[in-house]
Amino acid sequence: MRACFKLWSVVAVGLTFLAGPLRAEFVYVTNDANATVSAYSIGVNGALTPVRGSPFATGTNPYSVAVDPLGRFAYVANVGNVSVSGTVSGYHIAANGALTPVPGSPFAAGVISHFVAVDPFSRFVYVANVVSNDISAYRIRENGALTPVPGSPFPAGTTPTSVAVDPFSRFVYAANSNSENVSAYRIGANGALTPVAGSPFPAENVPVSVAVDPLGRFAYVANLYSNNISAYLIGANGALAPVPGSPFATGINPYCPAVDPLGRFVFVANSTSNTVSAYSIGANGALTPVLGSPFTAGPVPVSVVVAP
């Protein structure tokens, strides 16, 4: 089962940004085959230059990477395998982009730790554990080390493959592939997760990834085998209600919806039809294909991201 950012041996990409004018400074890429994460500095023309010491060692089978919004730390979800439990590797990001393990790294996670997300306020880390069917939650300490929050891990549906945090750090959403639903949680002051009323919420056939729009109004879930995307209105309590017309047709085997930073459009990579679907977001969250959609992509597209 692939999820966002999966691309054979190059698994995930994370970005850090300069504090002044908005420009990405470093790129991090997980390498599944040799258990490393590659680090690059981004030139003014976009060219990538390996930082000194790259690649850096991770745990077993690194799958996804996330960088805290303040650009201080990077976290890698290491899948492990049937005999090695999943872990999360934590790193301090140096001024030149090099990675140094934080104290205590790697940190224990669940079974088959698939996807990692950092909350927008740089306080907590959440990891979807595919086989143990739960979400690991951690507090980020001042030195970047991770401490499990009380009650972690938190039960999810069957086979949670991705996790997303809303832009105001109020809610967490997990796409559960085999139970075909979406778990929704409220984030407590200490990072603990409490299911919102009505959770989990129905999705379609094999939901694999979830994205929340930058204004925290809507959630979008790619359904791999029903070839569509479910759209939900996020209630004040975090509950999900289908928007009119949902689900919306995509190409064949969609992955990884991405919402543009102004909340105007949604883009979805269709892995089998080799296209990218593009939609405008209506006032109620409904999706309308833009003129010319779907657009031709390369072979087996599985991830899409929108530049800020």
The confidence score (pLDDT) of residue 47 equals 86
The stretch 243-256 carries a mean pLDDT of 95
92-126 pLDDT, tens digit per residue, is 999 999 999 999 999 999 888 889 999 999 999 99
- Confidence label for 21 from pLDDT (cuts 50, 70 and 90): very low
Task: Write down the mean pLDDT value for the chain.
Answer: 89
Write down the CATH number for the domain with range 216-308.
2.40.10
User: Does 83 score more than 90 pLDDT?
Assistant: no
Question: Could you tell me if 248 and 277 are in contact, meaning their C-beta atoms sit under 8 angstroms apart?
Answer: no
Of the candidates 29, 83, 21, the one whose C-alpha atom is nearest the C-alpha of residue 54 is 29
Q: Which two tokens stand for residue 2?
A: 């692939």
Range 1-202 has CATH code 2.130.10.10: yes
Residues 132 and 61: their CA atoms lie apart, in Å, by: 17
Of the candidates 68, 66, 73, 121, the one whose C-alpha atom is nearest the C-alpha of residue 94 is 73
Query: Do the domains at 1-202 and 216-308 have one common CATH topology?
Result: no
Question: Could you tell me if 143 and 189 are in contact, meaning their C-beta atoms sit under 8 angstroms apart?
Answer: no
The stretch 234-260 carries a mean pLDDT of 95
The confidence score (pLDDT) of residue 4 equals 60
174-193 pLDDT, tens digit per residue, is 999 999 999 999 999 999 99
The stretch 118-141 carries a mean pLDDT of 95
For tokens 């109004």, the residue is: 217
Domain chopping of the chain, boundaries: 1-202, 216-308
- Cα torsion 47, 301, 242, 197 to 10°: value is -70
The confidence score (pLDDT) of residue 107 equals 95
User: Does 75 score more than 90 pLDDT?
Assistant: yes
Q: Give 238 or 11, the one with higher predicted confidence.
A: 238
Report residue 7: phi and psi, to 5°: -150, 75
- Confidence label for 16 from pLDDT (cuts 50, 70 and 90): low
Q: What is the pTM of this model?
A: 0.90
Of the candidates 231, 232, 266, 270, the one whose C-alpha atom is nearest the C-alpha of residue 250 is 270
- Confidence label for 305 from pLDDT (cuts 50, 70 and 90): confident
The confidence score (pLDDT) of residue 14 equals 55
Residues 305 and 283: their CA atoms lie apart, in Å, by: 22
